[in-house]
Amino acid sequence: MPAAPSTGRLVAAVTLLAGLGLAACDADEGGPEGPDDGDRTTAAAAVLHEPATTWELRADTVLPGGRFAPLAPAGDDEVPQPGGVVVGDVLVAAITDQGKGDDGAAASLLVGVSAAGKVLWKGEDYGGCWTPDHAALYCTRGNALVRVNAETGGSGAGAEVTVAPGSTPVLDDGVLYVVVTPAGADETAYPPPFAVAALDATTLKSVWPGGPAGAAELAGFGSGSPALDLSGDDVSVAAWKETPSGQPDATQFELDRASGKVLGSTPLGKGSFLERPWTVRRGFGNDKLEVLLGDEVLLQLEGQPWDTQDQRLTTTEGRVGVGATLYDVTTGKAVWERADLGDDLAGWRWTADRKQVAVTGFDAKAGKMQTTYLDAESGKTLWSGPGTDVAPTETPDAFVQVASDYATSWVVQALDRTSGEVAWEKDVSAIGKEGYDDGVSPGGPYVSPSAVWLVGASTIVGFTGFPA
Protein backbone atom coordinates (compact mmCIF):
# COMPACT_ATOMS: atom_id res chain seq x y z
CA MET A 1 0.00 0.00 0.00
CA PRO A 2 1.16 3.60 -0.39
CA ALA A 3 3.50 4.36 2.43
CA ALA A 4 5.35 7.34 3.75
CA PRO A 5 9.10 7.48 3.26
CA SER A 6 11.27 5.28 5.41
CA THR A 7 12.47 7.16 8.45
CA GLY A 8 14.93 6.92 11.28
CA ARG A 9 13.76 7.02 14.87
CA LEU A 10 10.64 9.16 15.18
CA VAL A 11 11.72 11.21 18.09
CA ALA A 12 8.60 13.14 18.99
CA ALA A 13 6.08 11.10 17.10
CA VAL A 14 3.54 8.52 18.16
CA THR A 15 5.09 5.32 19.49
CA LEU A 16 3.41 1.93 19.47
CA LEU A 17 3.47 -0.56 22.33
CA ALA A 18 1.86 -3.99 22.19
CA GLY A 19 0.53 -7.08 23.97
CA LEU A 20 0.21 -5.86 27.59
CA GLY A 21 -1.95 -4.81 30.81
CA LEU A 22 -1.78 -3.14 34.32
CA ALA A 23 -1.55 -3.31 38.14
CA ALA A 24 -0.25 -0.43 40.26
CA CYS A 25 3.09 -0.93 42.00
CA ASP A 26 4.33 1.49 44.68
CA ALA A 27 2.02 4.16 43.32
CA ASP A 28 -1.53 5.31 43.93
CA GLU A 29 -4.23 4.16 41.51
CA GLY A 30 -5.85 6.98 39.60
CA GLY A 31 -7.20 8.09 36.30
CA PRO A 32 -5.03 10.09 33.95
CA GLU A 33 -5.11 13.84 33.82
CA GLY A 34 -6.25 15.55 30.63
CA PRO A 35 -3.81 16.92 28.05
CA ASP A 36 -3.27 20.60 27.54
CA ASP A 37 -4.84 22.08 24.44
CA GLY A 38 -2.76 23.68 21.77
CA ASP A 39 0.83 23.05 20.73
CA ARG A 40 3.13 21.09 22.99
CA THR A 41 6.89 20.73 22.88
CA THR A 42 8.67 17.86 24.60
CA ALA A 43 10.85 18.97 27.50
CA ALA A 44 14.33 17.43 27.56
CA ALA A 45 17.08 17.03 30.12
CA ALA A 46 20.05 19.39 29.95
CA VAL A 47 22.02 16.58 28.38
CA LEU A 48 25.03 18.68 27.40
CA HIS A 49 26.02 18.49 31.06
CA GLU A 50 27.39 15.19 32.35
CA PRO A 51 24.87 13.17 34.43
CA ALA A 52 25.57 12.85 38.15
CA THR A 53 24.01 9.40 38.55
CA THR A 54 23.92 6.15 36.59
CA TRP A 55 21.56 3.32 37.56
CA GLU A 56 20.53 -0.06 36.19
CA LEU A 57 17.30 -2.08 36.33
CA ARG A 58 17.36 -5.77 35.43
CA ALA A 59 14.24 -7.31 33.91
CA ASP A 60 14.55 -10.48 35.99
CA THR A 61 14.21 -8.46 39.21
CA VAL A 62 10.72 -7.44 38.03
CA LEU A 63 9.68 -10.71 36.40
CA PRO A 64 11.64 -13.92 37.17
CA GLY A 65 13.47 -14.99 34.02
CA GLY A 66 12.35 -11.80 32.31
CA ARG A 67 13.91 -9.98 29.37
CA PHE A 68 12.95 -6.64 27.88
CA ALA A 69 10.70 -7.08 24.86
CA PRO A 70 9.58 -5.09 21.81
CA LEU A 71 6.86 -2.51 22.31
CA ALA A 72 5.48 -3.34 18.87
CA PRO A 73 4.98 -6.75 17.28
CA ALA A 74 7.98 -7.83 15.24
CA GLY A 75 7.45 -8.87 11.63
CA ASP A 76 7.89 -12.48 10.55
CA ASP A 77 11.40 -11.79 9.27
CA GLU A 78 12.43 -9.37 12.03
CA VAL A 79 14.47 -10.01 15.17
CA PRO A 80 12.46 -8.69 18.17
CA GLN A 81 14.22 -5.61 19.57
CA PRO A 82 13.67 -4.22 23.09
CA GLY A 83 12.25 -0.71 23.30
CA GLY A 84 10.47 1.90 25.37
CA VAL A 85 8.53 5.13 25.17
CA VAL A 86 8.78 8.24 27.33
CA VAL A 87 5.60 9.76 28.74
CA GLY A 88 6.35 12.77 30.93
CA ASP A 89 9.23 11.63 33.14
CA VAL A 90 8.34 7.92 32.97
CA LEU A 91 9.76 5.25 30.67
CA VAL A 92 7.18 2.65 29.67
CA ALA A 93 8.72 -0.70 28.69
CA ALA A 94 7.72 -4.33 28.20
CA ILE A 95 9.14 -7.47 29.81
CA THR A 96 8.60 -11.08 28.73
CA ASP A 97 9.50 -14.26 30.60
CA GLN A 98 9.90 -16.04 27.24
CA GLY A 99 7.08 -18.38 28.24
CA LYS A 100 3.99 -18.95 26.14
CA GLY A 101 0.44 -18.05 27.06
CA ASP A 102 -2.72 -19.90 26.07
CA ASP A 103 -2.69 -18.18 22.68
CA GLY A 104 0.88 -19.28 21.97
CA ALA A 105 2.30 -15.76 22.35
CA ALA A 106 5.02 -14.83 24.82
CA ALA A 107 3.60 -13.63 28.12
CA SER A 108 4.41 -9.92 28.58
CA LEU A 109 4.35 -7.36 31.35
CA LEU A 110 4.11 -3.60 30.89
CA VAL A 111 6.06 -1.49 33.40
CA GLY A 112 6.41 2.21 34.17
CA VAL A 113 9.93 3.16 35.29
CA SER A 114 10.80 6.48 36.95
CA ALA A 115 13.77 8.66 36.02
CA ALA A 116 15.53 7.24 39.11
CA GLY A 117 14.97 3.63 38.02
CA LYS A 118 12.03 2.79 40.32
CA VAL A 119 9.26 0.53 39.00
CA LEU A 120 6.12 2.62 39.53
CA TRP A 121 3.59 0.08 38.24
CA LYS A 122 3.25 -3.07 36.21
CA GLY A 123 0.41 -4.82 34.45
CA GLU A 124 -0.70 -7.53 32.08
CA ASP A 125 -3.92 -7.21 30.11
CA TYR A 126 -3.47 -4.36 27.65
CA GLY A 127 -2.95 -4.52 23.91
CA GLY A 128 -1.40 -1.73 21.84
CA CYS A 129 -0.45 1.60 23.45
CA TRP A 130 0.49 4.96 21.92
CA THR A 131 1.76 8.35 23.04
CA PRO A 132 1.08 11.15 20.53
CA ASP A 133 2.84 13.89 22.51
CA HIS A 134 4.96 12.26 25.26
CA ALA A 135 2.36 13.58 27.74
CA ALA A 136 -0.58 11.18 27.34
CA LEU A 137 -0.65 7.39 27.00
CA TYR A 138 -3.48 5.56 25.22
CA CYS A 139 -3.86 1.76 25.27
CA THR A 140 -6.28 -0.85 24.02
CA ARG A 141 -8.00 -3.01 26.64
CA GLY A 142 -10.20 -5.71 25.18
CA ASN A 143 -12.48 -3.93 22.71
CA ALA A 144 -11.89 -0.50 24.28
CA LEU A 145 -9.36 2.29 23.90
CA VAL A 146 -8.44 3.82 27.28
CA ARG A 147 -6.22 6.61 28.51
CA VAL A 148 -3.60 5.42 31.00
CA ASN A 149 -1.88 7.50 33.67
CA ALA A 150 1.80 6.83 32.95
CA GLU A 151 2.78 7.59 36.56
CA THR A 152 0.29 5.23 38.24
CA GLY A 153 -1.02 2.83 35.61
CA GLY A 154 -4.60 3.90 36.36
CA SER A 155 -7.14 4.17 33.55
CA GLY A 156 -10.79 4.97 32.93
CA ALA A 157 -13.57 3.29 30.98
CA GLY A 158 -12.50 4.56 27.57
CA ALA A 159 -14.16 4.21 24.17
CA GLU A 160 -15.59 1.03 22.65
CA VAL A 161 -13.54 1.07 19.44
CA THR A 162 -11.12 -1.41 17.89
CA VAL A 163 -7.93 0.30 16.75
CA ALA A 164 -6.97 -1.03 13.31
CA PRO A 165 -3.76 -3.11 13.29
CA GLY A 166 -0.70 -1.14 12.23
CA SER A 167 -2.42 2.24 12.54
CA THR A 168 -1.27 5.23 14.60
CA PRO A 169 -3.73 7.58 16.36
CA VAL A 170 -3.14 11.28 15.73
CA LEU A 171 -3.75 14.05 18.29
CA ASP A 172 -4.80 17.45 16.96
CA ASP A 173 -6.35 20.37 18.87
CA GLY A 174 -7.64 18.22 21.73
CA VAL A 175 -9.10 15.50 19.48
CA LEU A 176 -7.67 12.00 19.03
CA TYR A 177 -8.25 10.70 15.49
CA VAL A 178 -8.10 6.91 15.22
CA VAL A 179 -8.27 4.45 12.32
CA VAL A 180 -10.60 1.70 13.55
CA THR A 181 -11.98 -1.62 12.40
CA PRO A 182 -15.75 -1.15 11.93
CA ALA A 183 -18.02 -3.14 14.23
CA GLY A 184 -19.00 -6.43 12.62
CA ALA A 185 -16.37 -6.17 9.88
CA ASP A 186 -14.99 -9.33 8.28
CA GLU A 187 -11.57 -9.68 9.91
CA THR A 188 -10.38 -11.98 7.11
CA ALA A 189 -11.16 -9.46 4.36
CA TYR A 190 -8.31 -7.95 2.32
CA PRO A 191 -7.69 -5.09 2.31
CA PRO A 192 -8.82 -4.94 5.96
CA PRO A 193 -11.97 -2.78 6.31
CA PHE A 194 -11.54 0.50 8.18
CA ALA A 195 -13.26 3.67 9.33
CA VAL A 196 -12.17 6.80 11.24
CA ALA A 197 -13.12 7.79 14.80
CA ALA A 198 -12.71 11.25 16.38
CA LEU A 199 -12.50 11.14 20.19
CA ASP A 200 -12.16 13.81 22.85
CA ALA A 201 -8.55 13.40 23.99
CA THR A 202 -9.50 13.56 27.69
CA THR A 203 -12.82 11.70 27.94
CA LEU A 204 -12.47 9.56 24.79
CA LYS A 205 -16.11 10.31 23.97
CA SER A 206 -16.92 10.55 20.27
CA VAL A 207 -16.70 14.06 18.83
CA TRP A 208 -18.70 12.99 15.80
CA PRO A 209 -22.41 12.45 16.50
CA GLY A 210 -22.60 9.23 14.51
CA GLY A 211 -19.44 7.66 15.90
CA PRO A 212 -16.78 6.25 13.55
CA ALA A 213 -17.26 7.60 10.03
CA GLY A 214 -16.58 6.63 6.45
CA ALA A 215 -17.06 2.86 6.65
CA ALA A 216 -19.38 2.74 3.64
CA GLU A 217 -17.33 5.07 1.42
CA LEU A 218 -14.06 3.35 2.39
CA ALA A 219 -15.38 -0.16 1.75
CA GLY A 220 -12.95 -2.10 -0.44
CA PHE A 221 -10.05 0.20 0.42
CA GLY A 222 -7.13 -0.37 2.76
CA SER A 223 -5.77 2.39 4.99
CA GLY A 224 -2.58 4.15 3.97
CA SER A 225 0.56 4.48 6.06
CA PRO A 226 0.25 7.01 7.51
CA ALA A 227 -3.53 7.07 7.05
CA LEU A 228 -4.44 10.46 8.52
CA ASP A 229 -3.41 14.01 7.61
CA LEU A 230 -4.67 16.84 9.84
CA SER A 231 -2.70 19.66 8.19
CA GLY A 232 -5.70 21.00 6.27
CA ASP A 233 -9.18 22.22 7.14
CA ASP A 234 -10.63 18.72 6.84
CA VAL A 235 -9.52 15.25 7.95
CA SER A 236 -7.67 13.68 5.03
CA VAL A 237 -7.62 9.89 4.86
CA ALA A 238 -5.18 7.99 2.64
CA ALA A 239 -6.61 4.78 1.17
CA TRP A 240 -5.55 2.25 -1.45
CA LYS A 241 -6.75 -0.59 -3.65
CA GLU A 242 -4.74 -3.40 -5.17
CA THR A 243 -4.04 -3.45 -8.91
CA PRO A 244 -3.02 -6.30 -11.24
CA SER A 245 0.51 -4.86 -11.36
CA GLY A 246 0.84 -5.22 -7.60
CA GLN A 247 1.40 -1.48 -7.15
CA PRO A 248 -1.39 -0.03 -4.95
CA ASP A 249 -3.66 2.64 -6.40
CA ALA A 250 -4.13 5.52 -3.94
CA THR A 251 -7.18 7.68 -3.23
CA GLN A 252 -7.45 10.58 -0.77
CA PHE A 253 -10.77 11.02 1.09
CA GLU A 254 -11.80 14.22 2.87
CA LEU A 255 -13.95 14.09 6.04
CA ASP A 256 -15.60 17.07 7.71
CA ARG A 257 -13.88 17.79 11.04
CA ALA A 258 -17.10 18.70 12.82
CA SER A 259 -19.31 15.80 11.74
CA GLY A 260 -17.15 13.14 10.11
CA LYS A 261 -19.22 13.36 6.91
CA VAL A 262 -17.30 12.24 3.82
CA LEU A 263 -17.03 15.34 1.63
CA GLY A 264 -15.40 13.76 -1.38
CA SER A 265 -12.36 11.89 -2.69
CA THR A 266 -9.47 12.43 -5.10
CA PRO A 267 -7.72 9.62 -7.03
CA LEU A 268 -3.95 10.04 -6.66
CA GLY A 269 -2.66 7.18 -8.79
CA LYS A 270 -0.35 4.24 -8.28
CA GLY A 271 2.36 4.56 -5.63
CA SER A 272 1.18 8.06 -4.66
CA PHE A 273 0.45 9.93 -1.45
CA LEU A 274 -0.55 13.49 -0.59
CA GLU A 275 1.86 15.95 1.02
CA ARG A 276 -0.12 19.18 0.95
CA PRO A 277 -0.15 20.96 -1.38
CA TRP A 278 1.77 18.40 -3.46
CA THR A 279 1.25 14.80 -4.48
CA VAL A 280 4.33 12.58 -4.32
CA ARG A 281 4.60 9.49 -6.51
CA ARG A 282 7.15 6.75 -5.87
CA GLY A 283 8.31 4.08 -8.29
CA PHE A 284 9.06 0.47 -7.47
CA GLY A 285 12.27 0.15 -5.45
CA ASN A 286 12.04 3.82 -4.46
CA ASP A 287 14.34 4.66 -7.40
CA LYS A 288 11.98 7.15 -9.06
CA LEU A 289 10.13 10.12 -7.62
CA GLU A 290 7.64 12.60 -9.06
CA VAL A 291 6.17 15.66 -7.36
CA LEU A 292 2.90 17.01 -8.72
CA LEU A 293 0.63 19.98 -8.04
CA GLY A 294 -2.79 18.80 -9.13
CA ASP A 295 -2.17 17.12 -12.49
CA GLU A 296 0.98 19.13 -13.24
CA VAL A 297 4.29 17.32 -12.82
CA LEU A 298 6.68 19.76 -11.16
CA LEU A 299 9.68 17.50 -10.64
CA GLN A 300 10.87 14.10 -11.89
CA LEU A 301 13.90 12.56 -10.21
CA GLU A 302 15.77 9.28 -9.88
CA GLY A 303 17.55 8.24 -6.72
CA GLN A 304 16.96 7.66 -3.03
CA PRO A 305 14.98 10.37 -1.17
CA TRP A 306 16.34 11.50 2.17
CA ASP A 307 14.97 9.96 5.33
CA THR A 308 12.78 12.22 7.43
CA GLN A 309 11.57 12.48 11.01
CA ASP A 310 7.97 13.50 10.22
CA GLN A 311 7.14 11.11 7.35
CA ARG A 312 7.07 13.90 4.73
CA LEU A 313 9.52 13.75 1.85
CA THR A 314 8.81 17.39 0.99
CA THR A 315 9.14 20.31 3.37
CA THR A 316 6.25 22.72 3.75
CA GLU A 317 8.39 25.28 1.92
CA GLY A 318 8.73 22.98 -1.08
CA ARG A 319 12.16 21.38 -0.72
CA VAL A 320 12.93 17.69 -1.34
CA GLY A 321 16.25 15.88 -1.01
CA VAL A 322 17.27 13.09 -3.38
CA GLY A 323 20.73 11.55 -3.53
CA ALA A 324 23.25 14.30 -2.79
CA THR A 325 21.03 17.17 -3.98
CA LEU A 326 18.37 19.39 -2.45
CA TYR A 327 15.70 20.52 -4.93
CA ASP A 328 13.10 23.28 -4.98
CA VAL A 329 9.80 21.68 -5.93
CA THR A 330 8.29 24.96 -7.11
CA THR A 331 11.05 25.66 -9.66
CA GLY A 332 12.27 22.14 -10.38
CA LYS A 333 15.86 23.32 -9.89
CA ALA A 334 18.62 22.23 -7.54
CA VAL A 335 19.14 24.42 -4.46
CA TRP A 336 22.51 22.87 -3.66
CA GLU A 337 24.49 19.68 -4.27
CA ARG A 338 27.15 17.89 -2.20
CA ALA A 339 28.36 15.03 -4.37
CA ASP A 340 31.63 15.08 -2.43
CA LEU A 341 29.99 13.48 0.60
CA GLY A 342 30.27 9.82 -0.21
CA ASP A 343 28.86 7.28 -2.61
CA ASP A 344 25.47 5.62 -2.87
CA LEU A 345 26.06 3.87 0.46
CA ALA A 346 25.95 7.19 2.35
CA GLY A 347 22.74 7.75 4.32
CA TRP A 348 21.09 11.17 4.01
CA ARG A 349 18.40 12.40 6.42
CA TRP A 350 16.77 15.56 7.69
CA THR A 351 16.91 16.51 11.35
CA ALA A 352 13.50 16.84 13.00
CA ASP A 353 13.46 20.64 12.75
CA ARG A 354 14.58 20.54 9.08
CA LYS A 355 17.38 22.98 9.86
CA GLN A 356 20.18 20.46 9.37
CA VAL A 357 20.92 17.56 7.06
CA ALA A 358 22.96 14.59 8.29
CA VAL A 359 25.09 12.46 5.97
CA THR A 360 26.39 9.23 7.51
CA GLY A 361 28.92 6.87 5.98
CA PHE A 362 31.76 4.56 6.92
CA ASP A 363 35.17 6.17 7.35
CA ALA A 364 37.51 3.46 6.06
CA LYS A 365 40.64 5.12 7.46
CA ALA A 366 39.18 5.53 10.95
CA GLY A 367 37.34 2.21 10.76
CA LYS A 368 34.08 3.69 12.12
CA MET A 369 30.89 5.51 11.18
CA GLN A 370 31.14 9.24 10.56
CA THR A 371 28.33 11.80 10.24
CA THR A 372 28.66 15.19 8.58
CA TYR A 373 26.00 17.78 9.44
CA LEU A 374 25.09 20.40 6.86
CA ASP A 375 23.17 23.65 7.06
CA ALA A 376 19.91 22.81 5.30
CA GLU A 377 19.56 26.24 3.70
CA SER A 378 23.03 26.49 2.15
CA GLY A 379 24.38 22.94 2.14
CA LYS A 380 27.56 24.11 3.87
CA THR A 381 29.31 21.77 6.31
CA LEU A 382 28.70 22.63 9.95
CA TRP A 383 30.75 19.85 11.52
CA SER A 384 31.65 16.17 11.32
CA GLY A 385 31.67 13.75 14.22
CA PRO A 386 30.84 10.24 15.47
CA GLY A 387 28.09 8.65 13.43
CA THR A 388 25.57 5.83 13.65
CA ASP A 389 23.33 4.19 11.08
CA VAL A 390 20.32 5.02 13.29
CA ALA A 391 19.12 8.61 13.68
CA PRO A 392 20.01 9.99 17.13
CA THR A 393 17.46 11.23 19.62
CA GLU A 394 17.18 14.99 19.25
CA THR A 395 16.75 17.68 21.88
CA PRO A 396 16.79 21.44 21.20
CA ASP A 397 20.54 21.62 21.84
CA ALA A 398 21.86 18.06 21.55
CA PHE A 399 21.93 14.77 19.71
CA VAL A 400 21.97 11.69 21.96
CA GLN A 401 23.11 8.51 20.26
CA VAL A 402 24.75 5.11 20.69
CA ALA A 403 28.01 4.74 18.79
CA SER A 404 28.89 1.09 18.22
CA ASP A 405 30.97 -1.33 16.20
CA TYR A 406 28.09 -3.80 16.72
CA ALA A 407 30.45 -6.42 18.13
CA THR A 408 32.42 -5.30 21.17
CA SER A 409 31.74 -1.61 21.85
CA TRP A 410 28.59 0.41 22.61
CA VAL A 411 28.89 4.00 23.89
CA VAL A 412 26.11 6.48 24.74
CA GLN A 413 27.12 9.97 23.58
CA ALA A 414 25.63 13.44 23.91
CA LEU A 415 26.76 15.79 21.13
CA ASP A 416 26.33 19.54 20.93
CA ARG A 417 24.22 19.90 17.79
CA THR A 418 25.80 23.28 17.00
CA SER A 419 29.47 22.30 17.17
CA GLY A 420 29.50 18.49 17.18
CA GLU A 421 31.51 18.47 20.41
CA VAL A 422 30.96 15.33 22.49
CA ALA A 423 29.70 16.72 25.80
CA TRP A 424 29.91 13.34 27.56
CA GLU A 425 29.91 9.65 26.82
CA LYS A 426 29.30 6.49 28.83
CA ASP A 427 30.42 2.98 27.97
CA VAL A 428 27.40 0.65 27.83
CA SER A 429 29.13 -2.28 26.12
CA ALA A 430 27.83 -4.71 28.74
CA ILE A 431 24.28 -3.69 27.82
CA GLY A 432 24.97 -4.04 24.10
CA LYS A 433 26.52 -7.48 24.49
CA GLU A 434 23.43 -8.83 26.29
CA GLY A 435 21.62 -9.38 23.01
CA TYR A 436 24.52 -9.51 20.56
CA ASP A 437 24.45 -13.27 19.99
CA ASP A 438 20.71 -13.07 19.22
CA GLY A 439 21.04 -10.06 16.90
CA VAL A 440 19.34 -7.79 19.45
CA SER A 441 20.41 -4.13 19.70
CA PRO A 442 19.64 -1.81 22.64
CA GLY A 443 16.57 0.41 22.28
CA GLY A 444 16.98 4.17 22.62
CA PRO A 445 18.42 6.43 23.83
CA TYR A 446 15.18 7.85 25.25
CA VAL A 447 15.21 11.35 26.76
CA SER A 448 12.82 12.87 29.32
CA PRO A 449 12.91 16.15 31.26
CA SER A 450 15.36 14.64 33.77
CA ALA A 451 16.82 11.40 32.41
CA VAL A 452 18.32 9.45 29.53
CA TRP A 453 17.52 5.73 29.19
CA LEU A 454 18.86 2.82 27.13
CA VAL A 455 16.95 -0.48 27.01
CA GLY A 456 19.05 -3.63 26.58
CA ALA A 457 17.91 -7.22 26.25
CA SER A 458 18.10 -7.78 30.02
CA THR A 459 18.92 -4.40 31.55
CA ILE A 460 17.77 -0.77 31.42
CA VAL A 461 20.54 1.72 32.14
CA GLY A 462 19.55 5.25 33.15
CA PHE A 463 21.46 8.51 33.45
CA THR A 464 20.08 11.28 35.62
CA GLY A 465 21.15 14.17 37.83
CA PHE A 466 21.41 16.70 35.01
CA PRO A 467 21.37 20.41 35.99
CA ALA A 468 17.90 21.94 36.19
Say how far apart CA 326 and CA 328 lie, in whole Å.
7
Least confident of 95-104, 109-118, 144-153, 415-424: 95-104
pLDDT for residue 97 = 82
The H or E element containing residue 94 is strand 90-100
pLDDT band at 398 (very low <50, low <70, confident <90, very high): very high
By the 8 A CB rule, do 145 and 159 touch?
Answer: yes
Query: According to DSSP H, which parts of 28-68 are helical?
Result: none
pLDDT for residue 343 = 60
Calculate the CA dihedral of residues 146, 239, 308, 365 and round it to 10 degrees: 110
pLDDT band at 380 (very low <50, low <70, confident <90, very high): very high
pLDDT band at 435 (very low <50, low <70, confident <90, very high): confident
Nearest to 388, CA basis, from 407, 368, 365: 368
User: According to the per-residue pLDDT averaged within each range, which of 41-50, 165-174, 254-263, 335-344 is highest?
Assistant: 254-263
pLDDT band at 44 (very low <50, low <70, confident <90, very high): low
- Main-chain dihedrals φ then ψ at residue 65, nearest 5 degrees: 75, 10
Nearest to 242, CA basis, from 225, 218, 221: 221
Mean pLDDT of 206-227: 92
Q: What is the DSSP string of 144-207?
A: EEEEE-TTT--B---B---BPTT---EEETTEEEEEEPPTT--TT-SSPP-EEEEEETTT--BS
Q: What is the DSSP string of 440-457?
A: PPPEEEEE-SSEEEEE-S
- Identify the burial level of 61 via C-beta atoms within 10 angstroms of its C-beta, where 0-12 means exposed, 13-18 middle and 19 or more buried: exposed
pLDDT band at 25 (very low <50, low <70, confident <90, very high): very low
Q: Three-state SS for 436?
A: helix
Say how far apart CA 238 and CA 267 lie, in whole Å.
10
User: According to the per-residue pLDDT averaged within each range, which of 302-316, 322-336, 383-397 is highest?
Assistant: 322-336
Nearest to 201, CA basis, from 159, 150, 258, 166: 159
**Which phi-psi region, left, alpha or beta, contains residue 59 (left: φ > 0; alpha: ψ -120 to 50)?**
alpha
Asked if pLDDT for residue 357 goes beyond 90, the answer is yes
pLDDT for residue 210 = 93
Q: Compare 129 and 181 and report the one with higher pLDDT.
A: 181
Q: What is the DSSP string of 305-369?
A: BPBBSSS-SB-TTSEEEETTEEEETTTTEEEEE-TTS--TT-EEEE-TTSSEEEEEEEETTTTEE
What is the percent of the chain where pLDDT is above 90?
53
Q: Which residues contact 135 (CB under 8 A, 6 or more apart)?
A: 35, 36, 40, 87, 88
Q: Compare 68 and 24 and report the one with higher pLDDT.
A: 68
